[in-house]
Structure 1
């Protein structure tokens, strides 16, 4: 575990906060290695229904990898392969999570920080958000597996522009690119919007959310063909659930449904 990540759970919502504001929440090796276990807690705890990704401080969501380590920990192809494996484990955990993920973005959101945001289901941004992929300005490759994440959100033409230019995007550009679902005027407004969205998601039927997440995961699968059997199992679990009966009863009785995930 690391002191540079905060993990809190309240009312069915887990909030994972990158807490390295001195480095603009850049992710170091210790943080990369701690993240999979935290994401596993989200996946395995039935009391957690939603995950929020956030960054501490006023200036950044996450500025990507902590490049101050690169001279020692990512200095050659072999070291880079080990480092990339840590990142890949985090990406796999996020991309296979069967619960909704919200990214609460403010300030700088760059490189690997942008990848965190891209793997969320919903991204809300404060007005000061600046997003970019600076790899070409650092002499780094932007790997195929990372480019795929960009293409899936903004499309191939805009992904080419973002990766090749390495410039930053802000304001209404984030809406037009499909990166931000909403732009909020400041951090307090962002916090309120994220809390409201998380509350709404947590009130929905967990098995229905899981079925939807699995369907989206299979729809966007890049290796092999979509696993339609996996999708059907998740769908059938909804039809057979007590929550489905509760949803019908609540509709008939004109009240809010109370879902328990069974």
Structure 2
């Protein structure tokens, strides 16, 4: 499937959906219509019960996403009013990823900068190749990073590392990102595809209701107490215990076989 005039590609196999940022000539920099295309691709997978988890990756070997498409800044982000309009235009993609119920893995190779790092931080698990580079160069452009992304950054690495990243605007290597907790794991370039594929297959084989509920609970832990919907969490947990998948999981354990979960 193609979205955003072919700059977002989507495919699925074996219970795993894959979204590819496909603008390699610009190191997969995100244009406005790519944000919309990402939201459309994610929505397609959200509606497909056969897709249990989703991988995000960049086309080529130079970048995951190198940031926002700066060539559009003069037109779309020239001042504060234009920035507010830009946020409206791109909000659907950001909101879709932030609220996504299925697990999402970022498969990172090359540059993962600015808005690209924001996308990666909105996923659940980040696996990076050794040649990846990270950074938020907002200070070098004279702009500020949005509250939601700064909060996500602080949640992952803590305020001290967040200050270093934001105040210097410098790039840092994959092993440093791993040390700070920004990525889950760094692997050799030639092992990235296989590592992510194995991880995605493992997740896709697990119970969908459990995956969704656990993801929902982790997000709630990071929210302010007043914003947590504890009734919804309790209902989701109860649905897991009342599900056919829970019965199947128990049977499979007793019968010493792999469970066949259906999401019901």
Query: Normalising to structure 1: TM-score of the pair?
Result: 0.96
Q: What runs of 5+ residues in structure 2 fail to find an aligned partner?
A: none
Distance in 2, Cα, partners of 1:93 & 1:55:
19
What residue number does 1:201 align with? 203
What residue number does 2:236 align with? 234
Specify the SS of the correspondent of 1:45: coil
Contact 1:55 1:62 in 2 (8 A): yes
Distance in 1, Cα, partners of 2:178 & 2:117:
15
What residue number does 1:60 align with? 63
Specify the SS of the correspondent of 2:172: strand
Q: Does the alignment pair 1:253 with 2:249?
A: no
Cα offset for 1:11? 1.1
Cα offset for 1:33? 2.2
Q: Does the alignment pair 1:140 with 2:143?
A: yes
CA deviation profile, 1:58-107 (whole Å, cap 9, x unmatched): 11111110001111122122221111123332222112111111000011
Contact 2:29 2:67 in 1 (8 A): yes
What residue number does 1:72 align with? 75
How many residue pairs are counted as aligned between the two chains? 261
Specify the SS of the correspondent of 1:155: helix
What residue number does 2:186 align with? 183
Distance in 2, Cα, partners of 1:34 & 1:90:
8
Specify the SS of the correspondent of 1:259: coil
Of residues 211, 214, 224, the one that matches 2:213 is 211
Distance in 2, Cα, partners of 1:132 & 1:123:
15
Contact 1:20 1:26 in 2 (8 A): yes
CA deviation profile, 1:214-241 (whole Å, cap 9, x unmatched): 1112112248331111111111111111
CA deviation profile, 1:166-209 (whole Å, cap 9, x unmatched): 111113212111112111111x3100000000000000000110
Q: What runs of 5+ residues in structure 1 fail to find an aligned partner?
A: none
Contact 1:95 1:217 in 2 (8 A): no
What residue number does 2:102 align with? 99
CA RMSD of aligned residues (A): 1.3
